[in-house]
Amino acid sequence: MTAPKALVAGNWKMNGLTASIDQINRLNDLISQNGANCDVLICPPYTLINAFSKLATDHLSIGAQDCHFNISGAHTGDISAAMIKDLDARYVIVGHSERRADHAEDNETVKAKAEAAQSIGLNAIICVGETEKQRDAGQALEVVTSQVKASIPDQSVVENTLIAYEPVWAIGTGRTPTESDVEEIHNAIRQVLNGRFGENASQIKILYGGSVKASNAHALMSVPNVNGALVGGASLKADDFYGIISAYDQIG
């Protein structure tokens, strides 16, 4: 089976104000003028989803960075998957390492959030990744595969499930794993998905994230079983982000 269409996703984290809509307009201009050989997603903070959704196109989708595991209720300050869907967003990131660390989210919580997102019709991007200490101890494969197994909801289907492998030590540091390390982990994730979803598992996108930028995108995105990128810092400026998108001009 052929590889799924790649997805280059931008995670804006806690960045962006109303004026940042200029970046979305610029991104749409760059894509319509020069094309995109992959799908593109921007996950801004909640405050910008409504405005950005109005600029979504066939090439550009909008998503959120987190959601609550309940669909509604007494959870002051939280945002539900239903609210995100209501703004025409299509994806939600769950289990980003910054959420796992800052908000003590464990695999069980991440799984419940992914389940809430998928139950309402959103695609869940489930993030996994080892810390530097775990990699140095030779535990990266074991940590990542057990996170994948424990974070995917029972009801997930191939169409609404994505995995993002983001080594914690590579996020925002300018450091990346070697291509062979990325390949090893992505292959192991694919094996877990094969066991779980059968032959259609090849259609689940496994994104790589952690210090992806225009200059390393081609090499990282060419690794087998890498079906796109989850990009933090380099997604904030449309021209930088388009440099990553255009890496796909030279990839299948």
Specify whether the CB–CB gap between 185 and 206 falls below 8 A.
no
Work out how close the CB of 198 gets to ligand PGA at its nearest, in angstroms, rounded to a whole number. 29
**130 catalytic per annotation:** no
* 172 interacts with ligand PGA by CB under 6 A: yes
Q: What whole-number distance in Å separates Cα of residue 125 and Cα of residue 163?
A: 5
Which residues within the stretch 213-232 sit at the binding site for ligand PGA (CB under 6 A)?
230-232
Q: Give the integer Cα–Cα distance in Å for 234 and 210.
A: 10
Token pair for 244: 């990553």
Annotated active-site residue 96? The verdict is yes
Per-residue burial over 163-191, b = 16 or more CB atoms within 10 Å of its CB, e = otherwise: bbbbbbbbbeeeebbebeebebbbebbbe
Spot the catalytic one: 68, 130, 166, 186: 166
CB atoms within 10 A of CB 202: 17
Residue 209 touches ligand PGA, criterion: CB under 6 A: yes
Does 177 engage in binding with ligand PGA (CB under 6 A)? no
Count of residues that interact with ligand PGA, criterion CB under 6 A: 13
Pick from 156, 211, 225, 227: which binds ligand PGA (CB under 6 A)?
A: 211
In whole angstroms, how close is the CB of 163 to ligand PGA at the nearest point? Answer: 13
Contacts with ligand PGA by CB under 6 A lie at 11, 166, 171-172, 209-212, 230-234
